Amino acid sequence: MNSLAKAKPDGYTLGTVATSVLLVGPQIRKTSYNTLTDFVDIIAIAKYTFALAVRSDAPWKTYEELIEWSKRNPGKFRYTCVGVGVTQHIAMEQIAEREGVKWTLVPFKTTGECMTATLGGHVDAIVQGPIDIVPQVQAINSKCY
């Protein structure tokens, strides 16, 4: 990122950057570049989709119900994702700020640990990509019939 920021803006130097490098890096250490002014996006080559999945026995069946419950029970909704400061965590905190709720992150090191904690009822929800969540939802739904 330092080399990219210092390169001449002549169109010959390009870089590919993960979102976390721009969002998290400057929050945890001093950088010699400003992520808002030193770079120009020219194309998105990948987009990440995350989903919030709650346990099948959760009392909330809609997003609206979850938000209302969280407003009445500050900090009691516990969700998990792979670490503090990752994109999923930042997204959940943005939602909390926008909706006026407070919830609790229970971070784990791996997606497997997050999934196990959710399925085991140790947390209320997981925030992860559909590739990790959809097979579990399908497995649970197939048992419901």
Checking if the pLDDT of 28 tops 80, the result is: no
Looking at per-residue pLDDT, the higher value among 67 and 46 belongs to 67
The answer, as to whether pTM is greater than 0.85, is: no
Model confidence pLDDT, tens digit, residues 55-109: 888 999 999 999 999 999 999 999 999 988 888 998 899 999 999 999 999 999 9
DSSP-derived pairing of the beta strands 104-105 and 125-128:
unpaired
Model confidence pLDDT, tens digit, residues 97-107: 999 999 999 99
Assess contact for 107 and 81: CB atoms under 8 A: yes
Nearest-angstrom CA–CA distance, 132 and 83? 16
Report the pLDDT averaged over residues 123-143. 84
